[in-house]
Structure 1
Amino acid sequence: MAGLDQEQRTRISKVLEYIEHHLDQTLSLEYLAKLSTYSQSHFHRLFTEMAGETPADYVKRLRLEKAAHDLIYEPNLSVTEIGLQCGFSSLSYFTTAFTERYQHSPKTWREGAYLEKFPRRYLHSKKSKQFSRKEQETSPETSYTRFQWVDLTKVRTMVFPEAAIVLSHRLGAYTQDIIPTWEGIYRWAEARDLLSQHSRLMGVPRSNPYLTPPDKCRYDCCVTVPLGTTVGNDMETGTFQGGKFAVYEFDEPVGYDNRQLLIECYSELYSFWLPRSGYRYLGNPVELVQITPKAGTLDIECRITAITLPIEPK
């Protein structure tokens, strides 16, 4: 993204945000270019440079990833309903595209084939005899029978207020390589006296690492700022919508180098807490982040203090 200036990044980011929330609608190159205010050819070039893939490939990938997720966690929706809600014009097209991507039909994926990529079964998922038998054949040493990483009794719900934010994006694996992005936005806010005891640092994973190739994963580093803050053109701004969240706070903050632990915790929240909670998920999780300058250096330490899921009643 280094080749794009701030205005270009902001415009393309708004299109990325629009796509994510309107996958059920027609998202033609002409329409997306119009949203960006660029010509189609210029928009196509900037989008591809920033996202790492063409607009058409990006839209199709997000639709398939959302469908793969919803087939697991939305058991009350039919395969056809999920395909249509993810923007596929027909069940046949949805089935063909999904099977090409995941080597299983949507029906087979829902019935348990997703376990080839996911570590554990969703409590309320539809379960076929084929995959029930496969699980029974798994040795006791490798089978998963109970939660291991999250004390589900400590999950609580909180309402976060809407807030103005400044943010920076990162494209790539969810590892310690995110820290330089955090350092950039943290130092920017610090130099402008925008950090206070009321500031909230939030990391937003935009992708599911079980479904998205590491080099295509998006992560937003966000800092809340007072409403009405004048930022100028050197930093992207946005709005954190707030709402009700399920919150799991770690006893000890977790570093970005321990992403596998974080993934396991998310998996347990989705697979065990969510189906019995009376809630459904609404979108991307949010990670609450703690940044601590390292004494005697210019380095910072970034750790995640809690993971949260936006929710609403079923």
Structure 2
Amino acid sequence: MKAALENYHARMQRVLDHIDQHLDDDLGLEALSGVAAFSKYHFHRQFMSTFGLSVHRYVQLARMKRASHRLAYMDAQSVTDVAMDAGYDAPDAFARAFRQRFGQSPSSFRKSPEWESWFAALGPLDNARSKLMQKSFTTDDVMIRNVAPTPVAIMEHRGDPVMIGATIQRFIAWRKAASLHPKTSPTFTVWRSERRPASPADYSMDLCAGTDQPIEANGEQIKAGEIPGGRCAVLRVVGNTDNLEPAALYLYRDWLPASGEEARDFPIYCQRLSFFPEVPEHEAVAELFLPLK
């Protein structure tokens, strides 16, 4: 029974990966049931029972998520181009669908996203993805690495995590102005609080860009800092890098007690090696670092 269930979940995971990689293609029932090797007459019910969403709604939300990321974080792409990439023949049809989903027009969202509404609208998609994408880690997935110290520019996020998108927008705009491209300047996230503190106002994290150059604030609250060197337990996560909590829990709850190691006095952090929507969501890569004594 366990092997059969694992096979079933693997086939469903294959469907999610296919959707991620082919958002511009035909993603109807017949095509997706073929990817899973299930009968097209039953696949829609199987998908719904597994993920809590219809195939059609899942695909719509996945396309809208990519479109919203491109609007918020990739200002070189026009609204019309984003609409075409989302599978709409005309910007007006895309604008209506976008407004219905997020409560804003695409142009308004690009200028000033209402992140709370965006977060709520995409909740069902994130819940669906988490049902199968919570990977089980083993000790073989963890390596101990000696890390060199990295000077960084830091933009702090303090307060409700729902508003992280706004901080990311400002961080990307500042990096562009400072000519710190992610391909040449490593990207780090440092968590200074729990993922879900008792009060959202207590949430605390730092967005960091590696640089040894003098830092110009350009109107932003930017400060110089350092990711310290030393020994770290490193766990690589591929896919669903929006939520690294399962990986962090594995390091703290399972790996650390069994390893005999002790954590060093610096927060857990990650380096983001590839980003959605520049790559399909299941191909995004992050490495989680737990500093050790």
Match of 2:9 in 1: 9
Match of 2:73 in 1: 73
Match of 1:291 in 2: 252
Judge conservation of contact 1:71–1:109 (CA < 8 Å) in 2.
Answer: yes
Please state which structure has a larger fraction of its residues in helix. Answer: 2
The AA in structure 2 aligned to 1:285 is T
The offset of 1:245, in angstroms, is: 5.8
The offset of 1:17, in angstroms, is: 1.4
Q: Give SS of 1:310's match.
A: strand
* 1:46 is the counterpart of 2:2: no
* 1:265 is the counterpart of 2:205: yes
Q: Give SS of 1:23's match.
A: coil
Match of 1:31 in 2: 31
Aligned 1:111-260 pairs, distance under 5 A:
111-114=111-114, 117=117, 171=127, 185-186=136-137, 189=138, 195=140, 198=143, 246-250=187-191, 254-258=193-197
The offset of 1:102, in angstroms, is: 1.6
Match of 1:307 in 2: 270
The offset of 1:48, in angstroms, is: 1.0
The AA in structure 1 aligned to 2:68 is A
Distance 1:36 1:78, change over 3 A: same
Normalised to the residue count of structure 2, the TM-score between the two structures is 0.51
Distance 1:269 1:45, change over 3 A: farther
Deviation digits for residues 114-135 of structure 1 (CA, Å, limit 9, x no counterpart): 356589xxxxxxxxxxxxxxxx
Distance 1:5 1:94, change over 3 A: same
Distance 1:109 1:42, change over 3 A: same
d(CA) in 1 for partners of 2:272 and 2:53?
28
Q: Give SS of 2:205's match.
A: helix
Normalised to the residue count of structure 1, the TM-score between the two structures is 0.48
Judge conservation of contact 2:189–2:271 (CA < 8 Å) in 1.
Answer: yes
d(CA) in 1 for partners of 2:188 and 2:144?
18
Distance 1:249 1:80, change over 3 A: same
Judge conservation of contact 2:52–2:128 (CA < 8 Å) in 1.
Answer: no
The offset of 1:16, in angstroms, is: 0.7
d(CA) in 2 for partners of 1:172 and 1:263?
25
Match of 2:92 in 1: 92
Judge conservation of contact 1:15–1:32 (CA < 8 Å) in 2.
Answer: yes
d(CA) in 2 for partners of 1:85 and 1:92?
14
d(CA) in 2 for partners of 1:32 and 1:19?
8
The AA in structure 2 aligned to 1:195 is D
CA RMSD, Structure 1 to Structure 2 (Å): 4.5
Distance 1:265 1:196, change over 3 A: closer
The AA in structure 1 aligned to 2:241 is P
The offset of 1:249, in angstroms, is: 4.0
Identity, % of aligned positions: 22
d(CA) in 1 for partners of 2:33 and 2:86?
21
Match of 1:144 in 2: none
The offset of 1:44, in angstroms, is: 1.2
d(CA) in 2 for partners of 1:6 and 1:173?
16
The offset of 1:248, in angstroms, is: 2.9
Distance 1:269 1:173, change over 3 A: farther
Judge conservation of contact 2:188–2:270 (CA < 8 Å) in 1.
Answer: yes
Judge conservation of contact 2:190–2:205 (CA < 8 Å) in 1.
Answer: no
The AA in structure 2 aligned to 1:291 is Y
The offset of 1:81, in angstroms, is: 0.6
Judge conservation of contact 1:246–1:311 (CA < 8 Å) in 2.
Answer: no
Deviation digits for residues 148-191 of structure 1 (CA, Å, limit 9, x no counterpart): xxxxxxxxxxxxxxxxxxxxxx94799xxxxxx67xx35xx4xx
In the alignment, structure 2 segments of 5+ residues that lack a partner are 120-125, 146-160, 164-184, 210-219, 222-238, 258-266, 279-293
d(CA) in 1 for partners of 2:26 and 2:115?
31
The offset of 1:269, in angstroms, is: 6.2
Distance 1:210 1:37, change over 3 A: farther
Judge conservation of contact 2:23–2:63 (CA < 8 Å) in 1.
Answer: yes
